[in-house]
C-alpha cells in the first residue's frame, strides 16, 4: 500500500508557524492491519513484559499465543470478513486476547461498555449485527447478557473465567472466597448458546490467513451519540487505527520503544484507551499495567511499585491524585509523559498535578469518529493555557461558520471545529443520512465550537450538541430524559450538564411531577438504576412546578443553563 502524505491546502497552514521542533507535519504514514502491527511487536519483543494484571505478568510471546488461539477458535465459530464480535469485558488479558483475535480472524470488534444497562447493550448489539459476544463469568456482566441470549438478540456468547486472569494462588482464593460473584454457567437456562473459553481454544490449530484491506476493512465499530442522542457506530478501518497510532508516535519522539510502561486505568472499550494505551502500547513494545477499574489507592500503589512511565487519563483521575493525601512526589518520579483527554482539562488541575508529579501533563483532543486523536499540545516547547493544542501530523483542522459550514472563519473567530485526515472514519454504520450531515467539504464536523490563534493553537469554547462529558464519557440528555419519563409520576423533565469539580460535568434533572402524584429524588434514582448506567443517573434532581418552554411550547434548556452557571 502507498503511504498517505498530507497535501497542502490552498490556505496557509497557520500551525506550521510554531510547529514542534523535530516533528514533520507533512509526514507520510502507511496504514496496515491492526493485527499485523500486533504480530510484529510479538516477534520483536517476545520476551518483554506485555502485561501486569492483579499480580500476574505475561510476555508478548505468551499473549501472542493466546491471541492466535482466540483467532482460530473464533474462525471455528464462523467469524471472518464482515462478521462482528462484541466485547463486554473489563481491562484484562481476555480483552487483549479477543480484540486482536477478532481482528486476526478477519472480524470486526464492537466495543461494549460494561456499565451499560441490558437495554443499552441490546441496542448496540442489535444495531451492529454482532454475531458473538465475549464476556467473563462475573455475575455483574453475565447477568446483563443472559436475557439477551434468551430473547435471541445474542446468538452465541464466549465466556472467559475471570480467575484465570490472576496468579495461581489469587485465582484459587478468588474462586473460593468470591464464589457468590461468579455466574454458574453450567446452570444457566441459555447454556446451550454459551461457549466456555476452554472449549473454544481446545485443540485449535493456527488461525487461517485473512487478507485485510487496511483502507476498506472495518476493524472497529465504536458507538457514539449523535444529534438525536441515539448511539451510532463510527466505522473505523484498520488504517484509521494504525495510522492514528503512528501519528501519536510521531508527536511523542521522546518515547523509547521497548522500554516504556503504560498505566492502563482507562477502560479499553473507550476509544481513548483503545488507541492511546492498548494499540499505542503494543506499537511501542511497552508493558501495559492494567487495572480492571480505577481505585485511587490501588492506582497510587501501582505507580509506586510498577513504575509506569506513561499515564494517559481523564481530568478527574489527575484531579483525584492531585488532591489525595497519599500522593507523594517521590513515588511518582517514574512518570515521564502524562496525557489528558476525554474532557476539558482545567488549568488548576494541570498545574497542581504537574507540581506533585514533576511531570508535564499535556492535553489532547479527539472523538470516536477520529480514532480518536486529532490535536495535542507538544511535550516540549510552548503549551498554551486552556488550548487543545495543534493538529497531529497529516491532520487538517478548519474552523467553519456554524450556519454556513462551507465558509472558513477568519483567524481568531469562533466557529465549528472540523477535521480531515487519515484517522477520520469513513462514516456511521447503516446511517448514510447521518454520515452526510457529519461532513462538509471532506471535513468531519466535530460539533464543537472553537477558534485558532495566530500560532495555530486551537481552543474549544462551546458545544453545538447537548452532550454532557462526564469523567471523559458522553452522557446524552435525551437518553436520560427518556428513562425518567418512564416513571409514572413524571410529567415533564429536562436534563442539562452542570459543572462538577470531580467529573468536569454531571447531569442534572429538572422534573415536574404529575398532579396528585408524589416522588422524591432518592426514589427516582432507585428507579433509574435499572435503566441507566451509574454515570448517567443524575446526582442532582430538582423538582419544579413548571419548566421553561419556548414560544412554541418546547421545553427549553437555555434558562436552566443560565441559572446553573
Joined together, the cell numbers standing for residue 174 give 478468588
Q: For residues 298 and 80, give the distance between their C-alpha atoms in angstroms, rounded to a whole number.
A: 39
> For residue range 3-20, what is the model confidence (pLDDT) as tens digits?
555 444 435 799 999 999
Q: Is the pLDDT of residue 563 over 90?
A: no
Q: Is the pLDDT of residue 173 over 50?
A: yes
Domains of the chain: 4-28+363-463 (2.30.38.10), 31-293 (3.40.50.980), 468-564 (3.30.300.30)
- Average pLDDT on 234-257 reads 97
DSSP 3-state of 420: strand
Predicted pLDDT at 433: 95
Predicted pLDDT at 322: 86
Predicted pLDDT at 135: 98
Counting DSSP H helices and E strands in the chain, the numbers are 17, 28
Q: Is the pLDDT of residue 189 over 50?
A: yes
CA dihedral 304, 307, 311, 313 (to 10 degrees): -30
> For residue range 104-159, what is the model confidence (pLDDT) as tens digits?
999 999 999 998 889 999 999 999 999 999 999 999 999 999 999 999 999 999 99
Of 18-27, 240-249, 341-350, 381-390, give the lowest mean pLDDT range.
341-350
Place of cell 441490546: 122
Of 48-57, 97-106, 313-322, 488-497, give the lowest mean pLDDT range.
313-322
Phi/psi of residue 473, each to 5°?
-110, 150
Q: How many CA atoms lie within 13 A of 31 on its CB side?
A: 23
What band does 552 get if pLDDT is binned at 50, 70 and 90? very low
Q: For residues 530 and 399, give the distance between their C-alpha atoms in angstroms, rounded to a whole number.
A: 41
Predicted pLDDT at 460: 85
Q: For residues 325 and 64, give the distance between their C-alpha atoms in angstroms, rounded to a whole number.
A: 40
Q: Is the pLDDT of residue 205 over 70?
A: yes
- For residue 86, give Cα distances in angstroms to 160, 211, 487, 560: 14, 21, 31, 39
> For residue range 491-530, what is the model confidence (pLDDT) as tens digits?
889 999 999 988 899 999 999 998 899 999 999 999 999 8
Predicted pLDDT at 392: 98
Q: Is the pLDDT of residue 168 over 90?
A: no
Q: Is the pLDDT of residue 346 over 80?
A: no
> For residue range 440-459, what is the model confidence (pLDDT) as tens digits?
999 999 998 889 999 999 99
Joined together, the cell numbers standing for residue 543 give 423538582
What band does 172 get if pLDDT is binned at 50, 70 and 90? low
Instruction: Tell me if 310 sits within 8 A of 260, measured CB to CB.
Output: yes
DSSP 3-state of 495: strand
> For residue range 286-335, what is the model confidence (pLDDT) as tens digits?
999 999 988 999 999 999 999 999 999 988 788 889 888 899 999 999 99
Q: Is the pLDDT of residue 468 over 60?
A: yes
> For residue range 368-405, what is the model confidence (pLDDT) as tens digits?
999 999 999 998 877 888 899 999 999 999 999 988 99
Instruction: Tell me if 538 sits within 8 A of 509, measured CB to CB.
Output: yes
Predicted pLDDT at 479: 82
% of the chain residues with pLDDT over 70? 95
Q: Is the pLDDT of residue 462 over 90?
A: no
Between residues 474 and 469, which one has the greater pLDDT?
469
Place of cell 444495531: 127
> For residue range 431-443, what is the model confidence (pLDDT) as tens digits?
999 999 999 999 9
What number of other Cβ atoms are within 10 A of residue 319's Cβ?
A: 23
Burial of 552 (0-12, 13-18, 19+ CB in 10 A): exposed
Mean pLDDT of the chain: 91
Upstream peptide bond of 509 is cis (omega within 30 degrees of 0): no
Predicted pLDDT at 9: 41
Between residues 508 and 167, which one has the greater pLDDT?
508
Joined together, the cell numbers standing for residue 140 give 455483574
Q: Is the pLDDT of residue 476 over 90?
A: no
Partners of residue 242 on adjacent β-strands: none
Place of cell 465549528: 416
- Average pLDDT on 47-54 reads 97
Amino acid at each position: 500500500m502507498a503511504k498517505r502524505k498530507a497535501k497542502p491546502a490552498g490556505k496557509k497552514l497557520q500551525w506550521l508557524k510554531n510547529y514542534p521542533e523535530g516533528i514533520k507535519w507533512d509526514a507520510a504514514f502507511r496504514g496496515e492491519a491492526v493485527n499485523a502491527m500486533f504480530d510484529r511487536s510479538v516477534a520483536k519483543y517476545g520476551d518483554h513484559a506485555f502485561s501486569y494484571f492483579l499480580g500476574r505478568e505475561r510476555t508478548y510471546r505468551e499473549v501472542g499465543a493466546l491471541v492466535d488461539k482466540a483467532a482460530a477458535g473464533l474462525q471455528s465459530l464462523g467469524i471472518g470478513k464482515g462478521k462482528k464480535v462484541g466485547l463486554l469485558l473489563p481491562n484484562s488479558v481476555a480483552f487483549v486476547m479477543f480484540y486482536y483475535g477478532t481482528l486476526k480472524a478477519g472480524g470486526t470488534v464492537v466495543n461494549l461498555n460494561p456499565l451499560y444497562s441490558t437495554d443499552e447493550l441490546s441496542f448496540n448489539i442489535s444495531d451492529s449485527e454482532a454475531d458473538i459476544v465475549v464476556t467473563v463469568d462475573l455475575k455483574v456482566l453475565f447477568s446483563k447478557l443472559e436475557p439477551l441470549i434468551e430473547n435471541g438478540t445474542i446468538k452465541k456468547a464466549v465466556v472467559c473465567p475471570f480467575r484465570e486472569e490472576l496468579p495461581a494462588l489469587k485465582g484459587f482464593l478468588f474462586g473460593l472466597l468470591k464464589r457468590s460473584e461468579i455466574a454458574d454457567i453450567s446452570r444457566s437456562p441459555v447454556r446451550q448458546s454459551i461457549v466456555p473459553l476452554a472449549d473454544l481454544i481446545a485443540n485449535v490449530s493456527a488461525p487461517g490467513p485473512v487478507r485485510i484491506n487496511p483502507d476498506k476493512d472495518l476493524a472497529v465499530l465504536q458507538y457514539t451519540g449523535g444529534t438525536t442522542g441515539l448511539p451510532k457506530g463510527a466505522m473505523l478501518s484498520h488504517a484509521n487505527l494504525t495510522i492514528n497510532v503512528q501519528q501519536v508516535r510521531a508527536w511523542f519522539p521522546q518515547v523509547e520503544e521497548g522500554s516504556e510502561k503504560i498505566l492502563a486505568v482507562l477502560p479499553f472499550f473507550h476509544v481513548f484507551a483503545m488507541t492511546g494505551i492498548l494499540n499505542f502500547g503494543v506499537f511501542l513494545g511497552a508493558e501495559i499495567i492494567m487495572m480492571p477499574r480505577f481505585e485511587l489507592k490501588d492506582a497510587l500503589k501501582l505507580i509506586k511499585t510498577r513504575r509506569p512511565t506513561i499515564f494517559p487519563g481523564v481530568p478527574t483521575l489527575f484531579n483525584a491524585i492531585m488532591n489525595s493525601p497519599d500522593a507523594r512526589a517521590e513515588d511518582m518520579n517514574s512518570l515521564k509523559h502524562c496525557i489528558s483527554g476525554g474532557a476539558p482539562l482545567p488549568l488548576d488541575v494541570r498545574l497542581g498535578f504537574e507540581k506533585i508529579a514533576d511531570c508535564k501533563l499535556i492535553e489532547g483532543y479527539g472523538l470516536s469518529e477520529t480514532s480518536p486523536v486529532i490535536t495535542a499540545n507538544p511535550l516540549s516547547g510552548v503549551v498554551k493555557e486552556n488550548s487543545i493544542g495543534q493538529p497531529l501530523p497529516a491532520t487538517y483542522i478548519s474552523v467553519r461558520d456554524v450556519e454556513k459550514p462551507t465558509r472558513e472563519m477568519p483567524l481568531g473567530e469562533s466557529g465549528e471545529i472540523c477535521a480531515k485526515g487519515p484517522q477520520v472514519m469513513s462514516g456511521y454504520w447503516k446511517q448514510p443520512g447521518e454520515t452526510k450531515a457529519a461532513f462538509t467539504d471532506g471535513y468531519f464536523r466535530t460539533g464543537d465550537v472553537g477558534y485558532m490563534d495566530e500560532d495555530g493553537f486551537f481552543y474549544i469554547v462551546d458545544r453545538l450538541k447537548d452532550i454532557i462529558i462526564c469523567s471523559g464519557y458522553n452522557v446524552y440528555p435525551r437518553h436520560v430524559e427518556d428513562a425518567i419519563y418512564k416513571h409514572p409520576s413524571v410529567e415533564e423533565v429536562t436534563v442539562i450538564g452542570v459543572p462538577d469539580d470531580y467529573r468536569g460535568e454531571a447531569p442534572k434533572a429538572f422534573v415536574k411531577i404529575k398532579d396528585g402524584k408524589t416522588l422524591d429524588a432518592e426514589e427516582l434514582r432507585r428507579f433509574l438504576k435499572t435503566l441507566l448506567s451509574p454515570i448517567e443517573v443524575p446526582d442532582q434532581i430538582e423538582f419544579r412546578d413548571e419548566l421553561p418552554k419556548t414560544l412554541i411550547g418546547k421545553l427549553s434548556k437555555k434558562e436552566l443553563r443560565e441559572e446553573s452557571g
